[in-house]
Amino acid sequence: MKRFAVVGHLAATSGAFSLNDLAGSAGRMDVLCRCINSSFFLSHDLRRDVECYLVLCGEPDPEKTILFRGSEVRYLSPDERSSAALIKKALSIPCGDEFRESTPGVFVRRGGLSRLLAEIPFAVLDEAGEDVRTAQALPEACLLSDHHNFTAGEQAMIEGYPRYSVGPRSLHADHAITVLLNEMDRRESGWIS
């Protein structure tokens, strides 16, 4: 199972945001929606072996985590608005400490990064990390930040975690996911030994 977690520092934690203002009142939810699309979409199919976690840290009720599970997800189309509608629906239902399904393959719970790190052994995608092209093995779970850098508190939580780089330049989170998945595809298909 391939897993991606993206921290949305300003992302809304209530379903009250407008689908017409994902970059504004939703706290740059558009960035997270693009990460969902990059995690799952192929030309005419979905990646069923991927899970994507969105750690939402914005107002009014932080922190919440939304999970998209590729093996179960339904109603997801390759546009930001579709992803955002599923996130909005998840944030509109009451949730507690355990994941609750809002639509098939989409789940929500209270809690944020520290809890997720305690459950899944993530590696961090970082420009200064080990090059994915030359790494002996690639991580199965990767942590990324949205358009903001990790906060000092988040950096402290991930200190000592393995770090991997998809290249020498800083990429958008959704592009980094695409590059890493491409490298994984190449290895799994035998293009690279």
**What are the E-state strand segments in 71-167?**
100-103, 106-110, 123-131, 141-145, 163-165
Backbone angles phi, psi at 52, to 5 degrees: -130, 125
Contact between 62 and 33 (Cβ < 8 Å): no
How far is the C-alpha of 142 from the C-alpha of 122, rounded, in Å? 5
Q: Which helix (H) or strand (E) holds 56?
A: strand 50-56
Rounded to the nearest angstrom, the gap between the alpha carbon of residue 1 and the centroid of all alpha carbons in its chain is 14
Please check if 10 is assigned to a binding site.
no
Helix (H) or strand (E) holding 116: helix 113-119
Beta-carbon count within 10 A of 41 CB: 15
Please name the residue that has the structure tokens 């991580």: 139
* DSSP assignment letter at 46: B
- List residues forming the annotated binding site for S-adenosyl-L-methionine: 125
Q: Extract the annotated binding site.
A: 125
